[in-house]
Structure 1
Amino acid sequence: MEKFPMIETERLILSQLEEKDIPFITEYLQHRIYSDLTSNIPYPYTENDAVFWLKISKEAFENNTGYTFGIRNKEGRIIGAIGLHDRDDDKAELGYWIGMSYWNKGFVTEAAKAIIDFGFNELGFNKIFATHLLHNPASGRIMEKIGMKQEAVLKEEVKKDGEYFDLVMYSIFKDRDSF
């Protein structure tokens, strides 16, 4: 794909991350809870972290290995992000976060449904999977709402701040009946 896609849902616009998003991303991810509930968001989260993340997101798109979308309200303000990253063998990994003031409003579920459809219909993946830390069951509920089923618990899969954590893995398949 030469041009980064834009996907519109009932309440959201999913589009490429932009430099103007950096202050908002930095502000949202300042809260320690994001680091505590995810395997790859550092604490403290700095502007340099956001700049680096935008850079690697752009490179992933250019290398055809990933799509990281800003989750935006209809006014165009970023409220979170969602990504789909190629993991070879026709499968991709889904990841997401959303600003705390937007939690429990169905925005991630809405965005994830659109990204799953994009991954199967536009990118041709056979399997899309996502993981969450065992102590973040809310993320697992999102995965279930979009049709994913729990596939495995990966014991001590992540080492963060010198401690090992289990990851719960969910999957969905293109034919959606493979499980």
Structure 2
Amino acid sequence: MKHLGTVKLETERLVLRKTLESDYEPMFKNWGNNERVTRFLTWEPYESAEQLKNTYHQYLLDNQNKPDFYGWKIVLKELGEPIGAIDVVNFREDIEEAEIGYCLGADWWHMGIMTEAFKRVIRFLFEDVGVNRITATHDPRNPHSGNVMKKCGLQYEGTSRQAGKNMQGICDVSRYAILKEDYEKC
């Protein structure tokens, strides 16, 4: 693998880029304060943009410019501000695997935006970074997240019972994956 870090990626409607200092207000407004968005995530809605910045800023300062850190804000071109995020949340260097996590503001659900962003990240990770396997997981009570994975070519690999925890408590975890050889056939 050749780590490149969070490079700017584009699609027809989106720019995927690093977090900017000016992003904390729109991050809070567009998804960080919304219980519908965080319902199946591992963190509670933020109470203010300042709280979000205080929690998130040092993490970004410590990591954002590392070559093995991949964390994009999803910017809708027509809006010009972030409406969600997509990240590599875990790397397994030994098997060249990247696990993806994502969230999107509720105002932009069911518009194909996350599928568009995820497909672009998949292309980048396979073609430029050289990973062999990309995975993603979701709580089975959130089937829309699994639908994004399927639309992006990931295959269902199984559900582990009570193997995770999110804002709903201990939960089952459904896993999907795509291999480089699968991607190359498409």
TM-score after normalising by structure 2? 0.84
String of CA shifts for 1:5-24, please: whole Å, max 9, x gaps: 11110111111111211011
Task: Flag the 1:54–1:143 CA change in 2: closer, same or farther, 3 A.
Answer: farther
1:70-149 aligned at under 5 Å gives the runs 70-75=73-78, 76-85=80-89, 86-89=91-94, 90-149=96-155
Runs (4+) off by over 6 Å: none
Of Structure 1 and Structure 2, the greater helix share is in 2
1:22 has 2:27 as partner: no
CA deviation string 1:123-156 (max 9, x = no partner): 1111010000111000000000000011121211
Taking structure 1 as reference, are residues 59 and 116 closer, same or farther at Cα in structure 2, changes over 3 Å only? Answer: farther
- Provide structure 2 residue ranges, at least 5 long, that are not aligned to the other structure: none
Structure 1's 45 and 123: CA in aligned 2 closer, same or farther, altered over 3 A? farther
1:60 aligns with 2:63: yes
Where does structure 1 lack aligned partners over 5 or more consecutive residues?
none
Provide the rounded CA distance (Å) in 2 between the counterparts of 1:4 and 1:163: 31
Percentage of pairs with the same residue: 29
Provide the rounded CA distance (Å) in 1 between the counterparts of 2:168 and 2:142. 19
Give the root-mean-square deviation of aligned CA atoms: 2.3
Q: Distance in 1 between matches of 2:47 and 2:182?
A: 37
Q: Does structure 2 conserve the Cα–Cα contact (< 8 Å) formed by 1:22 and 1:50?
A: yes
1:32 aligned onto 2:35: yes
- Structure with the larger RCO, 1 or 2 (CA within 8 Å, 6+ apart): 2
**What is the identity, as a one-letter code, of the residue corresponding to 2:71?**
T
Residue 83 of structure 1 deviates from its aligned partner by 1.0
The normalised TM-score by structure 1 is 0.87
